[in-house]
Amino acid sequence: MALIQVNYLSQALFRTVTLNVILPADKINYETGEYLNTESRKFKTLYLLHGLLGNYTDWISGTRIQRWAEERNLAVVMPSGDNSFYIKGRMPFDDYETFIGKELPLVCRKMFPLSEKREDTYIAGLSMGGYGAIRNGIVFSETFSHVAGLSAAVHLFEKGMEREFEDSLFDDPEKAAKTDLNPFIAFDELVSAKRLKPRFYLCCGKRDDLFDVNVKLRDYLFSKGADITWDEDEEAAHDWDFWDKEIKKVLDWLPLEDADAGLGSGNVNLQE
């Protein structure tokens, strides 16, 4: 397993961006150059988004995602999204929506042996990244088959939950609430257009201020025919202890290989 830092010039953002990539790199047939321990030579991929004030290092430092990805032969791409909520910003060259939904999968597939199949491509995130994963997972449902939101910040358009910083994302928050920036509206449009529906994993701690709005989104998506897996924790708040446990559950939920498929320092199989 390799942990790779990538810097490349993003066309969507018009600047150099940085991301971490966890890449399975074990069990290669040196005669053919093929990977031995996977059904295909191109890896299933999770695009994993950080929260507000975070960056591309958060998931590595805050959770055991590298260990669990190693076990499951899963590639994980972790970009920096600044404080963008992963939408198209108000300033030129702040198109994080295109960056996440279109550019990043295309660029990473050119750099690494990643599957181009929708059924092998997933997106997840926590807090701000949970909103970004849910909203972009719906809008770009032709790319992502599975979407996970951990303590997702889906409160942006909820009356009484507005915050000055988050309102500053939009020229007109009331107008934005009626567009696909609102995950509720985005899913309505997906259903109306009869586009492919992603499967959803949603979770939140009951001590989190975002719990009620996550329940509201869960119930709404379910009422519209979405495939929903839900998890909650009586004692959990908005913190890394909860997200570390939940990202393991997300990987268990995804259609991945067995947990002993990979090879790493914590999973050394001496038996052939």
Residue 2 has phi, psi (to 5 degrees) of -115, 140
Could you tell me which residues are beta bridge partners of residue 124? Answer: 48, 148
User: ∠ at Cα 103 (18, 167), nearest 5°?
Assistant: 75
The pairs formed by 9-15 with CB atoms below 8 angstroms and a separation of 24 or more are 10/99, 10/103, 11/103, 12/93, 12/95, 12/96, 12/98, 12/99, 12/102, 12/103, 13/93, 13/94, 13/95, 13/96, 13/99, 14/92, 14/93, 15/93
Distances (CA, A) of 111 to 104, 189, 271: 11, 33, 33
Tokens of 81: 């999204």
User: ∠ at Cα 31 (25, 33), nearest 5°?
Assistant: 35
Residue 190 has phi, psi (to 5 degrees) of -60, -45
The pLDDT, as a whole number, for residue 272 is: 44
Tokens of 190: 């997906």
Cβ neighbours of residue 194 closer than 8 Å, sequence gap 6 or more: none
Domains of the chain (ranges, CATH numbers): 2-253 (3.40.50.1820)
In this predicted model, what pLDDT tens digit does every residue of 88-139 receive, in sequence order? 987 778 899 999 999 999 999 999 999 999 999 999 999 999 999 999 999 9
Place of tokens 């701000």: 128
CA 128 to chain centre: 11
What would the mean pLDDT of 151-169 be, rounded to a whole number?
A: 79
At 32, is the secondary structure helix, strand, or coil? coil
The amino acid at 169:
L
Distance CA 177, CA 179 (A): 6
In this predicted model, what pLDDT tens digit does every residue of 182-222 receive, in sequence order? 999 999 999 999 999 999 999 999 999 999 999 999 999 99
In the predicted model, is pLDDT for residue 250 greater than 50?
yes
In this predicted model, what pLDDT tens digit does every residue of 47-99 receive, in sequence order? 999 999 999 999 999 999 999 999 999 999 999 999 999 999 877 788 999 99
The pLDDT, as a whole number, for residue 270 is: 44
Closest residue by Cα to residue 64 from 268, 269, 210, 264: 264
Of 57-66, 147-156, 157-166, 237-246, least confident by mean pLDDT is: 157-166
Tell me the Cα Rg of the chain. 18
User: ∠ at Cα 82 (137, 178), nearest 5°?
Assistant: 45
Distance CA 220, CA 16 (A): 38
Place of tokens 């030129």: 92
In the predicted model, is pLDDT for residue 267 greater than 80?
no
In the predicted model, is pLDDT for residue 26 greater than 80?
no
User: ∠ at Cα 167 (11, 229), nearest 5°?
Assistant: 75
